């Protein structure tokens, strides 16, 4: 047997995955985690109305979802001051980024991102044969000026910017992003990943005309709205850009209950603001726990905190391994010097208690092994 | 503004969609359908245990799903007499077909299917630039011999076969499919879509070694298990073939509650068999209603019946339009001579009552307009 004849691209792709999930790590360690603080999920969960909507819709799950998601698009359009034609609903930002890259990138096309930024975006670019050009962070922030310069230098089709940023939790000013649109090379699209926008200060959010076709903004119900496991994200751009996704997207790809849950979540802004307050409190707790251990934190505009372990990446990786060993799931940046940090998601009081107990032990063990 | 620079392929793709969903049709007609019998959904719904599992999991939706779906794969592997490494869980057969086509098809590659077979497969092939070669049905069945001949003639990378077939509901013998694997051109992969396999007689199901890398089988929780809106399908093949999907799939793309629901559904085979009996009964009802109106039906191995309207495609399209006008959602084959039929999904007693009342009126109006 010779098996399938893969495309040249598929045959050449590595068998790597963007992330190893916590369930996989739990199977390897043979025990569940005590605190799940590694995937920037919202331990506070979604609005009870969203949970109820999903539960109600479970009985209707025999029906495919509405392929055009008119109800959710209408609600978002009203909230965001645009029209439904500016909005595309999709299978989380991960799914939407994949579609967007597929629409724009063919083998050899240049794409610009930051060294150490979202690996799933890079995974999609590699998966469609694009050539990634990376610029380093500056002062733990994505370096907008350097991204633009690299885009000009490489005639890039896409510049990817997460704002606020993951994994550092920092942000660049919205006004700078709006300005950057004028400085983009002709025919270069800014993919603006705003997964964490609900936690960010107003100054982080650019004012961009709904019909601007130089940018595609991505948002999600996974973070602030607490529905990571539902897989609902949305993209915003000029109607022509939004319509182009219809050429390739999985039209009946959305989970029906998830869409109903997202609508209920979106309509419960009170819950969202409560979660934002809880996250703010938890970030202060993480900062306090870090300080109790002599560590500093990078100021965060997201639902996680990058905790500077005070040495290099090797040391931070040891701390992370010790935390995992002790049942605390966290992740960390991939590249230096950001990899001096571990990235801890906001959690509830019991998560913080586990962290407060585990962090000093992990630091001590990591130092003993250093 | 010039907008994004799309790939040559994306720029050339038409803005068509594989299907217009019933919600879209309802918006156009300004009223809901009285009977939803057009998408081969299961009006009987999923197992109550599946509904309960999804409802339970709604509260856990803040967590991403396990990216490797070990629990569901293990349950399916046990049921199917294979190993979890033979199985890939994905976002419905639609999503899995998209991944499979992406792995195998680059612009200009030949792909073989039947004229009038599943449009979403064709949509994916077009979306990756493949060249579709179609062979006609023979006697309302997919013509395995002609498919193989065309694959040899075109050096095809893929032959697509739905068994049982959609939209006609017929099947080719499993033993013929097993034999066809030996007759495939070297390096041609059979994509065997078994979406309706739970309704089919044993003789329709081929015996194929789990590790055979000449075939990828696709199954779903959408039809027999009644979870179309959940988006859970699975692919089966040699572990190397299954592993290749990890290079490109959306690893965290599954809805967490849907996966839990699928596991519960799979473990309730009693419910599945009850649904199969209800579908059988409903197909007999559809056949009786058709006969009461002087129409014959194509014998069906699925959860729907192709009802021969007794004339040509134009007439059947009129009947379909009249049924829609009267609140009955059905679909029909796209090409002649299969388009002499309308395709009616199995339904509950109230659906059948609506059909019995609406069909003679639709036929009369269609005849008046003929």
Q: What is the DSSP string of B31-62?
A: S--SEE-SS---TT-S-HHHHHHHHHHHTTTT
State the pLDDT confidence band at A1, using cuts at 50, 70 and 90: low
Residues of chain B contacting residue A257, judged by C-beta atoms under 8 Å apart: 54, 58, 229-230, 255, 257-258
| pLDDT tens digits, B105-133 | 999 999 999 999 999 999 999 999 999 99
Q: For residue B247, which of A360, A127, A40, A325 has the smallest C-alpha distance? A: A127
- A252 vs B229: CA distance, rounded Å: 8
**Residue of A1, A2, A4 for testing the chain B interface, max B β-carbons within 10 Å:** A4
Asked if residue A370 has pLDDT above 80, the reply is no
Query: What per-residue confidence (pLDDT) applies to A89?
Result: 98
- A199 vs A322: CA distance, rounded Å: 29
Mean pLDDT in chain A? 97
| pLDDT tens digits, B3-51 | 899 999 999 999 877 788 999 999 999 999 999 999 999 999 999 999 9
Asked if residue A277 has pLDDT above 70, the reply is yes
State the pLDDT confidence band at A16, using cuts at 50, 70 and 90: confident
- Distance (Å) from the C-alpha of residue A139 to the closest C-alpha of chain B? 31
- Distance (Å) from the C-alpha of residue A293 to the closest C-alpha of chain B? 29
Minimum Cα–Cα distance from A36: chain B residue: B63
Q: What is the mean pLDDT of residues A100-116?
A: 97
| Contact: A24, B238; criterion CB under 8 Å | no
State the pLDDT confidence band at B1, using cuts at 50, 70 and 90: low
State the pLDDT confidence band at B163, using cuts at 50, 70 and 90: very high
State the pLDDT confidence band at A19, using cuts at 50, 70 and 90: confident
Residues of chain B contacting residue A19, judged by C-beta atoms under 8 Å apart: 67, 251-252
Query: What per-residue confidence (pLDDT) applies to B319?
Result: 98
Residues of chain A contacting residue B21, judged by C-beta atoms under 8 Å apart: 64, 66-68, 251-252
- A327 vs B59: CA distance, rounded Å: 22
* Percent of chain B residues topping a pLDDT of 70: 100
Query: What per-residue confidence (pLDDT) applies to B127?
Result: 97
Query: What per-residue confidence (pLDDT) applies to B302?
Result: 98
Helices and strands in chain A: count of H runs, count of E runs? 13, 12
Query: What per-residue confidence (pLDDT) applies to A37?
Result: 97
**Residue of A19, A52, A250, A260 for testing the chain B interface, max B β-carbons within 10 Å:** A250
Query: What per-residue confidence (pLDDT) applies to B370?
Result: 73
| pLDDT tens digits, A146-190 | 999 999 999 999 999 999 999 999 999 999 999 999 999 999 999
Q: What is the mean pLDDT of residues B247-266?
A: 97
Least confident of A279-288, B1-10, B133-142, B252-261: B1-10
Q: Look up the ipTM and state it.
A: 0.97
| pLDDT tens digits, B181-206 | 999 999 999 999 999 999 999 999 99
- All domains in chain B, ordered by first residue: 9-45+270-369 (3.90.1150.10), 48-268 (3.40.640.10)
Q: What are the E-state strand segments in B121-212?
A: 131-135, 158-162, 189-193
Q: Which residue has the tokens 């309302």?
A: B140
- Distance (Å) from the C-alpha of residue B302 to the closest C-alpha of chain A? 16
Report the DSSP beta bridge partners of residue A343: A306, A331
Q: Residue A177: CB partners within 8 Å, gap ≥ 6?
A: A144, A161, A163, A190, A192, A206, A208
Residues of chain A contacting residue B17, judged by C-beta atoms under 8 Å apart: 67, 246, 251
State the pLDDT confidence band at A224, using cuts at 50, 70 and 90: very high
Q: Are B204 and B193 in contact (CB under 8 A)?
A: no
Q: For residue A151, which of A113, A106, A100 has the smallest C-alpha distance? A: A113
- Distance (Å) from the C-alpha of residue A144 to the closest C-alpha of chain B? 19
| pLDDT tens digits, A35-70 | 999 999 999 999 999 999 999 999 999 999 999 999
- Distance (Å) from the C-alpha of residue A353 to the closest C-alpha of chain B? 20
| Contact: B257, A54; criterion CB under 8 Å | yes
């Amino acid at each position: 047997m010779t098996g399938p004849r893969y495309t040249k691209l598929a045959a050449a792709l590595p068998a790597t995955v963007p992330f190893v999930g916590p369930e996989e790590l739990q199977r390897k360690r043979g025990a569940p985690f005590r605190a799940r603080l590694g995937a920037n999920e919202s331990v506070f969960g979604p609005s009870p109305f969203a949970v109820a909507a999903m539960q109600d819709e479970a009985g209707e799950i025999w029906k495919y979802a509405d392929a055009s998601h008119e109800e959710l698009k209408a609600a978002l359009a009203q909230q965001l001051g645009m029209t439904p034609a500016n909005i595309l609903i999709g299978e989380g930002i991960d799914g939407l980024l994949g579609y967007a890259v597929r629409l724009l990138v063919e083998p050899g096309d240049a794409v610009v991102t930051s060294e150490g930024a979202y690996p799933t975006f890079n995974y999609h670019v590699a998966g469609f044969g694009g050539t990634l050009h990376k610029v380093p962070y500056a002062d733990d922030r994505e370096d907008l000026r350097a991204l633009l310069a690299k885009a000009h230098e490489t005639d890039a089709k896409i510049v990817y910017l997460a704002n606020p940023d993951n994994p550092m939790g920092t942000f660049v000013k919205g006004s700078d992003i709006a300005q950057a649109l004028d400085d983009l090379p002709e025919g270069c699209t800014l993919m603006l990943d705003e997964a964490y926008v609900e936690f960010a200060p107003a100054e982080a959010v650019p004012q961009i005309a709904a019909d601007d076709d130089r940018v595609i903004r991505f948002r999600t119900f996974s973070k602030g709205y607490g529905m990571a496991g539902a897989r609902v994200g949305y993209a915003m751009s000029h109607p022509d850009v939004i319509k182009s996704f219809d050429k390739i997207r999985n039209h009946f790809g959305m989970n029906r209950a998830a869409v109903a849950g997202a609508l209920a979540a979106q309509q419960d802004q009170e819950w969202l603001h409560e979660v934002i307050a809880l996250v703010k409190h938890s970030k202060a707790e993480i900062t306090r726990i870090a300080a109790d251990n002599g560590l500093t934190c990078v100021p965060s505009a997201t639902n996680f905190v990058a905790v500077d372990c005070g040495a290099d990446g090797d040391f931070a990786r040891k701390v992370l391994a010790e935390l995992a060993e002790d049942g605390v799931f966290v992740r960390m940046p991939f590249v230096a010097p950001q990899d001096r940090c571990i990235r801890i998601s906001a959690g509830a009081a019991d998560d913080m208690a586990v962290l407060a107990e585990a962090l000093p032990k992990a630091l001590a063990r990591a130092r003993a092994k250093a």
